[in-house]
Amino acid sequence: MKFVLAAAAFLLGCDAFSTLSAFKPVTRLSSIADEFGIPCEDDCSTSTYKNLPASVHPGVVSGQALIDLLNHAKENGYAIPAVNCVSSSGINACLEAARKNDAPIIIQFSAGGSQFYGGKALNNKNFGAAIAGAVSGAFHVRTMAEQYGVPVILHTDHCAKKLLPWIDGLLSASERYFQDHGEPLFSSHMIDLSEEPIEENLEICKEYLGRMCKIGLLLEMELGITGGEEDGVDNSDVAQEDLYSKPEEIYQTYEELSSVSPWFTIAAAFGNVHGVYSPGNVKLDPKILGRAQEYICDKLGDAAPANKLPVSFVFHGGSGSDVADIREAIGYGTVKMNIDTDTQWSYWEGIKKFEEKYHDYLQGQIGNPEGPDKPNKKYYDPRECLRAAEVNTVERLGQSFADLKCQNILGLGPMNEATNVLGPRRGGLPV
C-alpha cells in the first residue's frame, strides 16, 4: 500500500505547474517513533501545532508541509535559523534550542561537514564518505526531531559544480526513502553555481529542480557571490559588484525556475560575507531584495501575489550581522538565515569556559587541588565538556531565534524538565 501511494506520487511530476495549490501534497506515511516503537512523550506521529498549517508536524518536514511552513514564516514576518552541524551533539543543541524557543529550525550539513560526520579517516572517493555521513546525520535528525516535538527542515548547504556528485548521491538516497515512506530523506538541498555563468547556473538548477520536486524536495540556489571564506571555499577577493545581485537577474531566475516548479528559494547576494569581521567591513544592502520583489511584481502584473513577495529569499553570511539589517531582509521576504560562524564560536567557547573553570582538574587522570591521588574521571568525561559546548550553543541560538523573530511560533509553551536522567548528573561538578 505504502509503495503504491509513493509510486503514484512519484509519477505525478511537476512540470508546468504555476501555483502551489496545484501540487499534490506528499503524504507523510510513518514516523520513526511509530516504525521502531520508540515511546514519545506526546503522540509525536500525529501532533500538529495550533498556530501553524495542519500539514506541519513534529519531525522532518518536506513537500507541501515544508512549503506551508516557509509561507507561514513569510506571511508572519519571521525567518527560520539554519544551523550548520557537524556532529550529533551539535544537532541535539539545535533541537534543544528550537524546543526552548518554541520554534521550527533548519539543520544543515555542508559537504565538508557531511564528510566529518562520517569520519575524516574514511576514504571520500566519489564522495562516498560525505554521502554516507550526510545520510547518517539525516537519520539522527529524523529520529530525534520527533522526540523534541519540533518541525525541522533538513537541508544541505553550498554545493559547487565539482560537488554535484555528492548531491546526486543524496538525491538517490531520498528517492529510495521516498519509495518506502512517501517522503524524501531530506527536505531540501542547496546548489551553488554562482561561480558559473548565469545561463549555466539556471540550466543545471532547472534540471535538478525537475528531479527534486517530484519527491517533494525544495531547491535553494545562489545568485551572485557570498564573500568571505567557508568550508574551504575562499571568496575573500572577488569583485565588489559580484557581491550584489541585480533585480533583472533575480527576475530571470524566478521566471526560469518557476517554469519547472515553484519549490525553490533564492540566496541572492546583497553584500553578504561568510565569517565574522570587524564592524564596518561588511556592507549589507537588504534593499536589493526589496527592489527585486518590486521589479518582479511589476513584471508579473495581476499575477503578482497579494503579499507582493513572490520570491522566498535565503540570507547567507548572517553571522555578525546587524539586527536592523536582518529584520529589513525579513521584511523583503527572507525566510531562512544561515548561521555557522557564530555557533562554531559558541560551541568552542563552551569548551573554553569549561576548561578555564576546571583547569586544575583536567591536567592528568589523577591529582587535583583536593589531593595528589584524587581521580579526575568525572571532569574529563567527554560528556562534561561536550555538554558545556551544547549549553553555550543553545544560549547563543536563543539570540538568533530572537533576531529572526522566530520565537513562540509553535504554541508548545516551555520545555519540561528532563526526568530519568542517566550518566553524569547535570550540575554535578563542584562550582
Cell numbers for 331, please give them.
521584511
Minimum Å distance from CB 317 to Zn ion? Answer: 6
Minimum Å distance from CB 327 to Zn ion? Answer: 20
List of residues contacting Zn ion (CB under 5 A): 226, 316
Of 95, 106, 53, give the one whose Cα is nearest residue 75: 53
SS3 287: helix
Of 244, 135, 266, give the one whose Cα is nearest residue 193: 266
Compare residues 206 and 316 and give the one whose CB is closer to Zn ion. 316
Minimum Å distance from CB 182 to Zn ion? Answer: 31
Minimum Å distance from CB 251 to Zn ion? Answer: 22
Q: Which of 68, 157, 192, 325 is catalytic?
A: 157
Give the pairing type, strands 151-156 and 188-191: parallel
Backbone φ, ψ for residue 52 (5° rounding): -120, 160
Q: What is the DSSP string of 87-137?
A: SHHHHHHHHHHHHHTTS-EEEEE-HHHHHHHH-TTS--GGGHHHHHHHHHH
- Quote the distance between the C-alpha of residue 157 and its chain's center: 8
Of 108, 103, 119, give the one whose Cα is nearest residue 85: 108
Using Cβ positions, the residue closest to Zn ion within the complex turns out to be 316
Is 157 marked active-site? yes
242-261 exposure pattern, b = at least 16 Cβ within 10 A, e = fewer:
ebbbbbebbbbbbebbbebb
CA atoms within 13 A on the CB side of 415: 16
What single-letter DSSP state applies at residue 244? Answer: B
Minimum Å distance from CB 423 to Zn ion? Answer: 36
Minimum Å distance from CB 227 to Zn ion? Answer: 10
Of 184, 262, 293, 238, give the one whose Cα is nearest residue 23: 262
Catalytic residues: 157
